[in-house]
Amino acid sequence: MLRHEIKPGRAVAGLVMLALAAGYAADAAGAWNASWTFFAPVFFGGLWLAATAAWVSYRVRRRREARKASAENPAVAGPPHGGAAEM
């Protein structure tokens, strides 16, 4: 099996959508009486959480790739001591 990239934002979005579907199913079956105003914040909060997870994952991946590239080629590392170039 080929390895694939982990995408936490999509995983969080999928879990939120499954939770919403379960809530709507429980409401339709009469097991739970919830108004639509309960589901709207859960939906938008879940989207915000998924976007945050995707953004954090993206930043970590970029930083790891930059660190790996600088370790392989010291000329790419930039100025010494990690600061701005001295004038």
pLDDT at 63: 86
Q: Measuring CA to CA, which residue among 13, 19, 7, 15 is closest to residue 49?
A: 13
What's the whole-model pTM score? 0.69
pLDDT in tens, 17-73: 999 999 999 999 988 888 888 899 999 999 999 999 999 999 998 888 877 777 777
pLDDT of residue 75: 63
